Amino acid sequence: MSSLPDSRQLQQRFTKHIRTGVRTIIPGVAQDRLAHYRHAIFHMVKDTMESAYPVTCANIPARKWDRMVRDFFAHHACTSNQVWKLPLEFYTYAVENNWDEVYDIPYLSDLLAFEWAEIEVFNMEDIAPAAFTSTGNWLETPLVLNPEYRLLSFKYPVHREAKRARLLKEQGAWFVLLHREPVNGHVQFTGLSPWLAFVTEQLAAGITVKDILEYAPQLGITVTAELEKDTIAFLVDMQRQQFVLGFQP
């Protein structure tokens, strides 16, 4: 009988080294070839993150970024079979481990969320919209929205700005709508005021503009003719951008 550990243990040692760099000796394994695997795999993971998060990566010093990807790959067991979903695990890991504070980048999770959402909306499975007609009453007919969208809220306006100093000055409540254009599949993003973000959320739940406006005072918002006009102008614009598809028949 062989005195070597069984194959399962050999595989665990081999992969543990690849992920963490912890020294290991496995019979028959040349150290330089083991290093080749570790290097090649780490670079694949890092490349994946850099193409998913180009803005994040460009705004973090190279050594810090390298440390982040190494930390993630060594300590997080990647569960996605699909490489394109791996960046979501990176984002989740950053949030769970409080990287905004750990790495002193208060807007990091906002930035990762924004960059990930663009990939997610671009790739998400097709969702058939409800039936709609092109005519209706903006105030009283429930609207049909393009279901391929995400509405995100941020503490920092990462959709407008990447410079640290400016971002930190603009801490607040920011909203961004990302949607996929039905025909060409392009992802559009639109910065929204808190009010329009609220309107969008309510429209998605099937509430009419009229009912949303009636509810507004409870949020401390004064409804004026101007607000109504601006809200409808926004919706008309979003119809042109194929986020509002039409009216419920």
Is 189 a binder of other proteins (CB under 8 A)? Answer: no
Element at 42 (helix H, strand E): helix 31-52
Between 8 and 23, whose beta carbon lies closer to other proteins?
8
Considering only 23, 82, 222, 240, the residue that binds other proteins (CB under 8 A) is 82
Q: Does 3 bind other proteins (CB under 8 A)?
A: no
User: Residue with structure tokens 């028959």?
Assistant: 28
Residue 37 as a binder of other proteins (CB under 8 A): the answer is: yes
Nearer to other proteins, 202 or 242 (CB): 242
- Phi/psi-derived region of residue 152, left when phi > 0, alpha when psi is between -120 and 50, beta in every other case: beta
- Collapsing DSSP to helix, strand or coil, 104 comes out as coil
Of 24, 26, 221, 223, the one binding other proteins by CB under 8 A: 26
| Contact set for other proteins, span 40-69 (CB under 8 A) | 40-41, 44-45
Distances (CA, A) of 174 to 47, 95, 96, 148: 30, 18, 22, 21
Q: Which is nearer to other proteins, 28 or 220 (CB)?
A: 28
Rounded to 10°, the helix 108-123/86-96 angle is 150
Nearer to other proteins, 186 or 229 (CB): 186
Residue 119 binds to other proteins (criterion: CB under 8 A): no
